[in-house]
Structure 1
């Protein structure tokens, strides 16, 4: 008789150990593999200039590193950089090479493009001039404040799910928890935007546009974790937290720009709330909303998924209450 509880305990312990081992392995892969293979991966850049010069440039560059697009004039190339159609570009003339960058859109890609431009200038025995069309702010030239905003956004999704569940437990408190998460997202998004704009001066765009993006990002994180917890319990919360922290954080590309990660990892990162939140923050804070459509849609989908999960949990919780009420009436 005593073997059954012991064997059940052994199976449970084995599952826990294997689950933790899988979690650590996933964490190692998520942090290590993209870093080992980091570098420019199909970074979209524009070129303008004489056809012969641009043809030579195409032939001399690594096709896996750059996605080269031609523009008829230097003005068109500059407009494409500001609209986030390309990450930067080179305008090649007979006497110099103009390098157009957007550091705020991806510092690592900017560095690689600058090196490429100087290499082209050396090959043509001309000089290179760098024009940073979309830089970080003067008070935060390296974008440290923007990079540091990612973890508060992730924890802004984790903490509400934990604290609201403790303050308003059970099925009766579910709707209050969802409302609290949405209200918290508004307050937290506005507060983070205020710190970035008025305290650290890391961004200098339209405050309300930046705040709206941060509100949406925080709502996507918090409602997803809250919905998973409501439907699946602590197992769902652990799954969501691991997904956001262990995959979403290293794959967000917020510090380097998404094109610095291998293609598959970069795509996955941009489909998760942390990566989409980072891209939306860059678009709103530095590019006046250019390129904000896809990350905003991604975050809206995640928020919808979280609310849907909460509604399913609410519907499931009503059934026992209804059954008890009918039994009491009978």
Structure 2
């Protein structure tokens, strides 16, 4: 007995309805995940073992007071004098320094390391003074064109998104993994020098050596684009989703670009520094504002991601040769 047209129509509509419901549920879950990924770190910003130093004849007492009043907030190191404290700030060993004097505390901050932390430490100094506002000196100041660091913080997301977009374009437009890798490297170089010129010239949000800043930008772009496009070459188009979700949902919110890694919930703040966005932010701060102090760690992270991306291109090339081998073996027989 032949099924009726009505039952055939219902049979066709059922899988479509299930697919639509499944996509809607998956999209809603992804939306919730994105909101949590971006809003949760921002809503939980607070100092957690934030490195600061205390100097002066009463440094020990000040350190004990900080540990008692704000347990777990600061990782305090005691220095013999103000000169040693300033050296720690210039070397990115600490975000601020309390100089204890008989007349009251003075606060040294480094807004270039994080304007948010600088404001936080200024408030701490005022609370410690217990009266008139404590004197605050910015030892390593943020650029005059971006005193609050908002422009710097806004650099991370466009770098990631443009890197992901480039990876998608190369994956679909360039069939050969070798040429795709060459294109990604060229894009990283052009993008790095272009973004550095824009950030230092027109936007005035970065200082330091132009070549150094451009090199950091290029390495960061290569780490993102190379990894995502390399994943696509090695495991297929699913690699784009894996890389994109990792860098967007984890890398960007945990980068510390708008605050500092020590202000994020742990261990997520530390994890963010092992991903390209967080490493790029830290390396860019070191090169642009601190004459390269503290660059070894983040540079190693970015170099490792970039090398992994190029290695994945090699895996993709081998994968393509294996697929083509049976066709090549049949050609002599057909001739």
Q: Distance in 1 between matches of 2:309 and 2:142?
A: 34
Alignment-derived partner of residue 160 in structure 1: 166
Higher-Rg member (1/2)? 2
Q: Is the 8 A contact 1:149 1:192 kept in 2?
A: no
Alignment-derived partner of residue 41 in structure 2: 34
Q: Distance in 2 between matches of 1:54 and 1:134?
A: 23
Unpaired segments ≥5 residues, structure 1: none
Alignment-derived partner of residue 193 in structure 2: 190
Among 269, 273, 285, the alignment partner of 1:270 is 273
Q: Distance in 1 between matches of 2:252 and 2:303?
A: 19
Once the 2 structures are TM-superposed, how far is the Cα of residue 8 of structure 1 from its aligned partner? 7.7
Q: Distance in 1 between matches of 2:20 and 2:329?
A: 41
Task: Pick closer, same or farther for the CA change 1:297–1:18 going to 2, 3 Å.
Answer: farther
User: Per the alignment, in what secondary structure is the counterpart of residue 105 of structure 2?
Assistant: strand
Post-superposition Cα deviations, 1:143-190, rounded to whole Å, max 9, x if no partner, equal 233222212211231122122233323xxx211111100111011011
Post-superposition Cα deviations, 1:119-154, rounded to whole Å, max 9, x if no partner, equal 1111xx676211101111122222233222212211
- Number of residues of Structure 1 aligned to a counterpart in Structure 2: 325
The TM-score with structure 1 as length reference comes to: 0.90
User: Per the alignment, in what secondary structure is the counterpart of residue 200 of structure 2?
Assistant: helix
* 1:319 corresponds to 2:327: no
Q: Distance in 1 between matches of 2:166 and 2:64?
A: 55
Q: Is the 8 A contact 1:280 1:292 kept in 2?
A: yes
Q: 4+ residue stretches of structure 1 with deviation over 4 A?
A: 1-19
Q: Distance in 2 between matches of 1:32 and 1:127?
A: 33
* RMSD value, Cα: 2.3
The TM-score with structure 2 as length reference comes to: 0.89
Alignment-derived partner of residue 77 in structure 1: 85
* 1:177 corresponds to 2:180: yes
Post-superposition Cα deviations, 1:192-224, rounded to whole Å, max 9, x if no partner, equal 111111111112211111111111100000001
Q: Is the 8 A contact 2:114 2:149 kept in 1?
A: no
Q: Distance in 2 between matches of 1:178 and 1:17?
A: 36
1:244-283 pair list within 5 angstroms: 244-283=247-286
Among 123, 143, 147, the alignment partner of 1:141 is 147
Task: Pick closer, same or farther for the CA change 1:23–1:305 going to 2, 3 Å.
Answer: farther
Q: Is the 8 A contact 1:217 1:277 kept in 2?
A: yes
Unpaired segments ≥5 residues, structure 2: none
Task: Pick closer, same or farther for the CA change 1:126–1:311 going to 2, 3 Å.
Answer: same
User: Per the alignment, in what secondary structure is the counterpart of residue 135 of structure 2?
Assistant: strand
Alignment-derived partner of residue 25 in structure 1: 32
